[in-house]
Amino acid sequence: MKQSRMILCRSQSEALLLSRKLSACGIDARLARPPRSPKVRSCSWGLEIETQASDWAADCLADMPPDVWSWEDGG
């Protein structure tokens, strides 16, 4: 199984926007709910990408506002 990283977004709409942007850069991204506590109610969504595509994804998303996305691990 390939390792993956998650890009966190504030909403499903933003995640879909980033998914289209990553797709245009040739990066496959899968829409997913991020891990969270069952007690936390959140609108956040994430995109799973292969770990090896992380640098390429960061370059592709460099022109997006900094508050739109972040890495799950803060990296």
Q: How far apart are CA 6 and CA 70, in angstroms?
A: 9
CATH number at residue 11: 3.30.70
- Residue 69's DSSP bridge partners are 9
pTM of the model: 0.83
Say how many domains are in the chain.
1
Secondary structure E strands in 1-75: 4-9, 30-32, 45-50, 69-71
pLDDT in tens, 17-66: 999 999 999 999 999 988 776 776 777 899 999 999 999 999 999 998 87
Q: How far apart are CA 39 and CA 37, in angstroms?
A: 5
Tell me the residue range of the domain where 8 lies.
4-71
Sign of the C-alpha dihedral computed for residues 42, 20, 18 and 26 taken in this order: positive
Q: How far apart are CA 50 and CA 36, in angstroms?
A: 21
